[in-house]
Amino acid sequence: MRIILVLLLICAVSLTHAQPEPYEIFNAKGKKVSYRKMLHRLEDQQVILFGELHNNAIAHWLQVEVTKDLASRRNIVQGAEMFEADNQEAIDKYLKKEIDQKGLDTLARLWPNHKTDYAPLLDLAKENDRKFIATNVPRRYANRVYRYGFKTLDSLPEEEKSWIAPLPIAFDPDLPTYQNILKMMGDHGSEKLVMAQAIKDATMAHFILENIESDKVFIHYNGAYHSDFYEGILWYLNRENPDLKFSTISTVVQEELSSLEDEHLGKADFIIVVDSDMTNTY
């Protein structure tokens, strides 16, 4: 009897001091979901929009894990906001091992956190002989739209137009996520600012659709705001292909992981809630 009591005490202490988990996964309605169940849903899609917080270590780690696990079940194509369409040639050379990391850094405009956060994703494609699509609009055109609106794109040479979504750009300034940008920016907000966001969303959607293959899942990595609440990129995807099979993922930070806060309900099919104590990558 004494031995049993000691064992029960040890178990109680162990449970009390259980190792904390750095994240939980919830569905759009706020119900906890297992990683396995999420993966099962993802493997049955044509497109996955994996929304990250750009400096969140857990999101970057899970992008790698989901990509590896998904690739063990389905053929995949990878693509990302973090690479601009006019850098596709440099990315292809890297994937074919014609240039190394230093050469890629010379030829392409890489994000400052590329080495820690995005190189692992690109290297997965290289190691497995997969396509990796640079989906984002070259930033100089987004900057021009911010200053002058969509019309500034009309005068671009045809080659440069091939790096953005086909003109004219469809645009709904009343989408709640776009309206929220204006609220957040206050006096600094303008319709052209929202247009600059829209040209990114439209271009990413364009290159996703252009590279969908019937027997593969296209997994796309982007800032969560570009796909939260099924808007942004997804608004453009659904506009061109309303029958598209898709799933979205978002990443949020909370102090408590036991439940999903109301403001995050409905953000995505799967919401990764990361402990606010988690160290950021920058």
pLDDT digits (tens, 9 = 90+) for 196-214: 999 999 999 999 999 999 9
- How high is the pLDDT of residue 6? 38
Residue 14 inside a domain? The answer is no
- How high is the pLDDT of residue 189? 72
CA of 167: how far to CAs of 114, 154, 261, in Å? 30, 8, 39
Residue 107 inside a domain? The answer is yes
Residue 7 inside a domain? The answer is no
Segment among 23-27, 75-79, 85-89, 277-281 with least mean pLDDT:
277-281
pLDDT tens per residue across span 236-271: 999 999 999 999 999 999 999 999 999 999 999 999
Cα(55)–Cα(280) distance, rounded to whole angstroms?
5
pTM: 0.92
Which whole number is the average pLDDT over 30-48? 98
Instruction: For the sheet with 47-52, list strands across it.
Output: 23-27, 270-275, 246-254, 47-52, 216-223, 75-84, 132-136
Cα(164)–Cα(139) distance, rounded to whole angstroms?
11
> Would you state the torsion angle of the CA atoms of residues 133, 137, 140, 143, taken in this order, to the nearest 10 degrees?
-150
Residue 169 inside a domain? The answer is yes
Asked if residues 26 and 273 have their Cβ atoms less than 8 Å apart, the reply is yes
CATH code, domain with 94: 3.40.50.11550
Cα(199)–Cα(205) distance, rounded to whole angstroms?
10
The total domain count for the chain is 1
- How high is the pLDDT of residue 13? 43
Residue 105 inside a domain? The answer is yes
Residue 133 inside a domain? The answer is yes
Residue 205 lies in domain: 23-275
Residue 90 inside a domain? The answer is yes
Percent of the chain scored above 90 by pLDDT? 88
The phi-psi region of residue 272 (left if phi > 0; otherwise alpha if psi is between -120 and 50; otherwise beta) is: beta
Residue 4 inside a domain? The answer is no
Cα(120)–Cα(27) distance, rounded to whole angstroms?
27
Which whole number is the average pLDDT over 165-194? 90
